[in-house]
Chains A and B, each alone.
Chain A
């Protein structure tokens, strides 16, 4: 081989290597940013940090610190909701039962049921109500101002419907979001399960979410 031929070969090799390295870097970078297709729909475009809030459980106040270090499944409702709320709570309760089989994930999960109807739901009643569906559920509520502030942070709406004429004072209906929200151990809104949910779907997708979270955390440290 002539001298110029060797140079050409070396140049070609160098170009090929550069392209390969760039492609590998791009791929690994994409893996960090892009979630697997099967959990993409359940994740928020970007995990959003919650700011301090205050709600009340029967035996303690619940704020941002109560979410940190755990995966929190947050749902809204009220106990005078006989149809949708028990279904959603028992679905999540059964998902938690499935997750009990996973010794790593099980200690990290908690459920928080937020009643948007503090007039009828006391923290004591909510404790009994929430733990009925799963021991890892906490029932909380707050003043209208506290509930409004937290709902705004979570970007959910709720309305207390006007009492119909001829009905008793405590007979009114509530309209609320029936999504189950997932807050990550850093206190960021991470994912959501829109209705209708199934226990198997929640358990399976959550484990993938958690794996993705753990993986992306490590990779970010590795690359940057």
Chain B
């Protein structure tokens, strides 16, 4: 009986998520990933491309993740060889454009981890936009973009991840 209820709940949740996706007209998230780090690390970074297919600018204002107590939008700033991070209130994606969060630039800072993450794990996140739109994603934990890029050049071994 317990299992049956779980199944019903799962189906309801899946349908709700499908509905949420179908209702999304503006935002599209491509290749979300989290920089792999040693298990004891308390702060991680997530990267992705945010596409805006709509006619109005999209403002990413907040992010939640069941794996982390707090998620903030940050940007690494270089002056000379010095680097520091700055918290951003929001991230604006122009109409019919996209913004790429990538190492050394804008990223989502994942803080207060609730569990240890290993390469290959999926981090669920919900992105909230100013216009009320929200989108659920799962970011894959992996090490380095460069490594991925060179792996792709030699034929993608990671397998295709369907949506």
Interface of A with B (CB < 8 Å)?
79-84, 86-87, 90-91, 94, 120, 125, 128-129, 132, 157, 159, 161, 164, 171, 173-179, 194-196, 198-199
Contact = CB atoms under 8 A, between A and B. Distances in A.
A90 B76 contact: no
B22 interface: no
Contact of B143 (A90, A159, A194): A90
Contact of B43 (A82, A157, A176): A82
Given A80-B42, A82-B44, A176 B37 contact: no
Contacts of B84: 159, 161, 173-176
B38 A129 contact: yes
Main DSSP-derived SS at the B contact region: strand
Residue of B41, B45, B86 with most chain A CB atoms under a 10 A cut-off: B41
B4 to A, nearest CB: 42
B40 A129 contact: yes
A194 B43 contact: no
A166 to B, nearest CB: 12
Interface string B34-58: 0111111111110000000000000
B146 interface: yes
B83 A178 contact: yes
B74 interface: yes
Contacts of A198: 146
Interface of B: 35-45, 74, 76, 78, 81-87, 103-104, 107, 109-111, 143-144, 146-147
A179 B74 CA distance: 21
A84 B82 contact: no
A195 B37 contact: no
A82 B38 contact: no
A179 B39 CA distance: 25
Contacts of B44: 82
A9 B143 CA distance: 73
Contact of B81 (A82, A90, A129, A194): A194
Residue of B83, B85, B87, B104 with most chain A CB atoms under a 10 A cut-off: B83
Given A83-B104, A161-B84, A129 B147 contact: no
A129 B86 CA distance: 23
Residue of B76, B82, B104, B109 with most chain A CB atoms under a 10 A cut-off: B82
Contact of B38 (A128, A171, A179): A128
B83 A82 contact: no
A132 B146 contact: no
B40 to A, nearest CB: 6
A96 to B, nearest CB: 14
B81 A83 contact: no
Nearest to B109: A82
A132 B35 CA distance: 13
A132 B37 contact: yes
Contact of A94 (B82, B87, B146): B146
